[in-house]
């Protein structure tokens, strides 16, 4: 039950909003894609650690991707917004059925606990 993960210099946790930069090779070309969303779960340990990122896409459809933490194609992880201190569960799967207003409570709790 991991709440925090570390990738190179970036330390992030469950509830944080992150941008994951990943290189994709298509034939001879290499392009970088960015997937931005909230970390809803971290599982595994040591080398087998992975994390799930969820974002709301076009027409309010939820999109989730599972990234292995030590995947060589992941170039960079940027923490956009901290929410770890506002989290009360290790896995935030309940946010799948919540509205955006209720999800913002995680970030507001993190700001209250920070000061």
pLDDT at 25 over 90: yes
pLDDT-based confidence at 58, cuts 50/70/90?
confident
pLDDT-based confidence at 115, cuts 50/70/90?
low
In this predicted structure, what is the pLDDT of residue 8?
A: 86
pTM: 0.86
Structural domains of the chain, with CATH: 4-114 (2.30.30.790)
For 94-113, how does the pLDDT look when each residue is reduced to its tens digit (9 = 90+)? 888 887 787 888 888 877 77
The three-point CA angle 86-15-2 to 5° equals 100
Rg (CA), the chain: 14
47, two tokens: 């080398």
The secondary element (H helix, E strand) that includes residue 106 is helix 100-114
In this predicted structure, what is the pLDDT of residue 95?
A: 86
pLDDT at 1 over 70: no
- Distance, in Å, from the CA atom of 51 to the CA atom of 74, rounded to the nearest integer, reads 12
What three-state secondary structure class fits 33? Answer: strand
79, two tokens: 């923490």
Cβ neighbour number for residue 55 with a 10 Å cutoff: 14
- Distance, in Å, from the CA atom of 8 to the CA atom of 21, rounded to the nearest integer, reads 13
For 2-19, how does the pLDDT look when each residue is reduced to its tens digit (9 = 90+)? 788 898 888 999 989 999
């Amino acid at each position: 039950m991991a709440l925090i993960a570390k990738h190179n210099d970036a330390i992030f946790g469950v509830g944080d909003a992150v941008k994951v930069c990943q290189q994709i090779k298509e034939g001879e070309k290499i392009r970088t894609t960015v997937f931005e969303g909230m970390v809803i779960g971290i599982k595994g340990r040591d080398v087998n650690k992975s994390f799930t990122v969820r974002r709301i896409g076009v027409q309010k459809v939820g999109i989730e991707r599972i990234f292995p933490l030590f995947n060589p194609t992941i170039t960079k992880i940027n923490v956009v917004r901290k929410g770890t201190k506002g989290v009360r569960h290790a896995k935030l799967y309940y946010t799948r059925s919540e509205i955006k207003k209720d999800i913002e409570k995680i970030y507001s709790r993190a700001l209250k606990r920070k000061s």
